Amino acid sequence: MTTIAILPSSDSTGRKQRFEAVTGDHHASGASVGMAIDALNDKLGTTSGPSLIVVQQMQGDEFFDDGQIASVGRLMDEWRRARDLGSPLDAQAECKLSDLVEAELAATIERCKAVTDGK
């Protein structure tokens, strides 16, 4: 299963303008979440099969807290700046971002379990 992170992309005033879909080393953006996913699927060549999309409001819960969300936002801003400059994210930041993405995936799994268990 491919895990795709969807993140809002903001302009210099902090206004959300687009959405970024990211998986592994691949990324694409679009004016909506769906457009970003479609653009990423086009790049990956994913054209068939079922998809399950879980939308989580970007606010903390018992599975992934506000501090973790803020850290992901900061690190994604750093990642975008590095990408736009054609340079890699520094190793420490890349490791932290990877750890947070894994924690966010684990939180999503636990959140889904809670929903299906009726909690």
What pLDDT digit, counting tens, does each position of 10-37 carry? 666 666 678 888 887 788 889 888 899 8
Using an 8 Å Cβ cutoff, are 53 and 37 in contact? Answer: yes
Q: Residue 90 in contact with residue 81, Cβ under 8 Å?
A: no
Bridge partners, residue 5, by sequence: 22
Show the 3-state SS of 72-96: HHHHHHHHHHHHHHCCCCCHHHHHH
Q: What is the pTM of this model?
A: 0.57
Task: For residues 92 and 86, give the distance between their C-alpha atoms in angstroms, rounded to a whole number.
Answer: 18
Could you read off the pLDDT of 46-92 as tens digits, one per residue? Answer: 656 666 666 656 688 999 999 999 999 899 889 989 988 999 999 99
Closest of 43, 41, 25 to residue 33, by C-alpha: 41
